[in-house]
């Protein structure tokens, strides 16, 4: 059986935290769809097209990524459309759990065939969040170790920051 799982998020921008989950998920499932939510509620710094492109560049070395798509819809509708019944989410700390359980529950209410699978973030990256990275960058802190090189460069450019 060929199993495709969907990994959704805002990816504003993609970090080593997301990449940790993606890399591990591709070892468990036959293929992965990365679904990038427009999520205007979060007021993203990068527009959807930019987030898709940065994610594409950051994951170019990973073989079994089936596709990277952008969406402005309910996630369950995308999962149905893509014919996947497995949703992957990364959990960093106990604080993520409350939100993730609610999200998994609401998704299951709407699409009962959909199961959420949680991967615990590797401890080296479990403190990373896109917001922290953007905030550190804004005040010219060093964010090199949290992001792939191209994403790091794109973030500095977006914030009009010059860094050595
Ligand atoms: N390691 C480190 N950081 C991680 C991580 C990991 N493994 N996984 C997530 N993060 C960080 C992200 O950087 C992000 O940080 P930020 O909040 O500072 O930006 C945060 O954890 C959570 O982000 P993400 O995983 O991108 O999820 P999200 O909560 O932004 O997105 C959606 C959630 C897109 C899946 C959800 O909103 C959704 O499904 N939206 C579509 C509409 C819908 O169907 N809603 C549900 C029914 S109402």
17 lines ligand 1 (CB under 6 A): yes
Which residue carries 């802190």 as its tokens? 141
Which of the four pLDDT bands, split at 50, 70 and 90, describes residue 151? very high
21 lines ligand 1 (CB under 6 A): yes
Q: Sort 132 into a burial class: Cβ within 10 Å, 0-12 / 13-18 / 19+.
A: middle
pLDDT the model gives residue 78: 98
Average of per-residue pLDDT across 61-69 = 97
Average of per-residue pLDDT across 118-143 = 95
Whether 163 shows a pLDDT value over 70: the answer reads no
Q: Which of 5, 7, 9 to mutate to test the pocket of ligand 1 (most atoms within 8 A of CB)?
A: 9
The per-residue pLDDT for range 70-115, each reduced to its tens digit, is: 999 999 999 999 999 999 999 998 888 999 999 999 999 999 999 9
On average, the pLDDT of the chain sits at 96
Q: Which of 14, 20, 37, 58 to mutate to test the pocket of ligand 1 (most atoms within 8 A of CB)?
A: 37
pTM of structure: 0.94
Whether 4 shows a pLDDT value over 70: the answer reads yes
Annotated binding residue at 127?
yes
Classify domain 4-158 by CATH number. Answer: 3.40.50.620
Average of per-residue pLDDT across 11-28 = 98
Domain positions in the chain: 4-158
Q: How far is CA 106 from CA 15, 112, 127, in A?
A: 26, 10, 26
Where do the DSSP E strands lie in the chain? 4-9, 31-37, 65-71, 86-91, 115-120
Which of the four pLDDT bands, split at 50, 70 and 90, describes residue 161? confident
Whether 13 shows a pLDDT value over 90: the answer reads yes
């Amino acid at each position: 059986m060929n199993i495709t799982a969907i990994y959704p998020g805002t990816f504003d921008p993609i970090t080593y935290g997301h990449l940790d989950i993606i890399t591990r998920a591709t070892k468990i499932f036959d293929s992965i769809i990365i679904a990038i939510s427009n999520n205007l509620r979060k007021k993203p710094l990068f527009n959807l097209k930019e987030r898709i492109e940065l994610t594409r560049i950051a994951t170019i070395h990973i073989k079994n990524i089936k596709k990277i798509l952008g969406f402005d819809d309910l996630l369950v509708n995308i999962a149905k459309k893509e014919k996947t019944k497995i949703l992957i989410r990364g959990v960093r700390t106990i604080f993520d759990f409350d939100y993730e359980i609610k999200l998994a529950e609401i998704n299951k209410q709407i699409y009962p065939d959909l199961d959420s699978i949680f991967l615990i973030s590797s401890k080296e990256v479990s403190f990373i969040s896109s917001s922290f990275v953007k905030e550190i960058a804004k005040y010219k802190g060093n964010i090199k170790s949290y992001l792939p090189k191209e994403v790091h460069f794109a973030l500095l450019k977006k914030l009009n920051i010059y860094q050595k």
